[in-house]
Structure 1
Amino acid sequence: MVIRSTVLAAALIALVWAIAQPSLALERKVYDPAALAAEQAAGKSILVHVTAPWCPTCKAQKPILDKLTAEPDFKDFVVFDLDFDTGIAGLKALNARSQSTLIVFKGDKETGRSVGDTKAESIATLLRTAL
């Protein structure tokens, strides 16, 4: 009986702790020009990830971006995924010519971009330009 009560108490504590923790999973949004403009008008730190489902570099970037944007310094970033195959208007508007492009904004000001980068350190440096 004591063991069951202890296990139940531990499970309850774990559940309460999990609920109380801020979400570590960043919400990635599908690129939308109006949504981007709204976030820019609000002065947010923004990352646009030009990606394609067939792109191995994009696939390598995703877990790096997920990990970085879960860190306290970058947790407030708004991340938009712009599909390279279907987002032609967005690519033109942002002057993005390649998948695996990372474009960073602080409000409506572009602070940096990179193409094909899969190094966490240099991506973190890029994100810091919008803090």
Structure 2
Amino acid sequence: MNRRDFVLLTAAVTLAAPLGATRLRAETVTYKPGVVSEALDAGKTVFVDFYASWCSTCQTQHRVMDTLKAGNPDYEKNIVFVVVDWDSYKDGMLSAELKIPRRSTLVVLKGDKELGRIVAGTSRAQIKALMDTALMAATST
């Protein structure tokens, strides 16, 4: 492989990874102040994801969540997934109210209650349990 082909291939792979991640995350709501409280006021179950694009733990969590969502469409039908950009909102009101210690924190909310959280956990079983908690809350009356 010549140098030019190597550089082009490297650039293509580098650019393709973020584009793929964006496509997989298209079902989520990007956080803006008020979006979580609006969903909660409407009686919805909210899965809040404190994420940084440069965080490898966050990326692993997203791969697990995307796989779980693909295997069970009820997650996306019933739960509002909100991604909070850690770099923009780590010092914001939502982070303070929920006492978020760091990026890669996942929190499930319903009404005025926190139903569960994971801090920096990446195991499929742990994330599935949290998503199942959210789904159960969303589908129970």
TM-score by length of 2: 0.68
Q: CA deviation at 1:26?
A: 5.7
Give the number of aligned pairs. 108
1:7 match: none
1:63 match: 63
C-alpha deviations, 1:70-126, integer Å up to 9, x for none?
413422211111111110213212210111000011233210001111111111111
1:33 is paired with a residue whose SS is coil
Indicate if the aligned counterparts of 1:69 and 1:77 stay in contact, CA closer than 8 A. no
How do 1:1-131 residues align onto structure 2 when only pairs under 5 Å count? 27-70=27-70, 71-75=72-76, 76-87=78-89, 88-89=91-92, 90-130=94-134, 131=136
What CA distance in whole angstroms lies between the structure 1 residues aligned with 2:68 and 2:38? 23
Question: Counterpart of 1:105 in structure 2: which amino acid?
Answer: L
1:5 match: none
Identity of aligned residues (%): 37
What CA distance in whole angstroms lies between the structure 1 residues aligned with 2:55 and 2:101? 14
Q: Which runs of 4+ in 1 moved over 4 A?
A: none
C-alpha deviations, 1:14-58, integer Å up to 9, x for none?
xxxxxxxxxx97621121231111110122121111111111000
What CA distance in whole angstroms lies between the structure 2 residues aligned with 1:25 and 1:100? 15
Indicate if the aligned counterparts of 1:26 and 1:66 stay in contact, CA closer than 8 A. no
RMSD across aligned positions (CA) = 1.9
Indicate if the aligned counterparts of 1:26 and 1:69 stay in contact, CA closer than 8 A. no
**Structure 1 unaligned residues grouped into runs of 5+:** 1-23
TM-score by length of 1: 0.73
What CA distance in whole angstroms lies between the structure 2 residues aligned with 1:41 and 1:116? 28
Question: Counterpart of 2:127 in structure 1: which amino acid?
Answer: I
Question: Counterpart of 2:64 in structure 1: which amino acid?
Answer: I
Q: CA deviation at 1:127?
A: 1.8
Question: Counterpart of 1:33 in structure 2: which amino acid?
Answer: P
2:65 is paired with a residue whose SS is helix
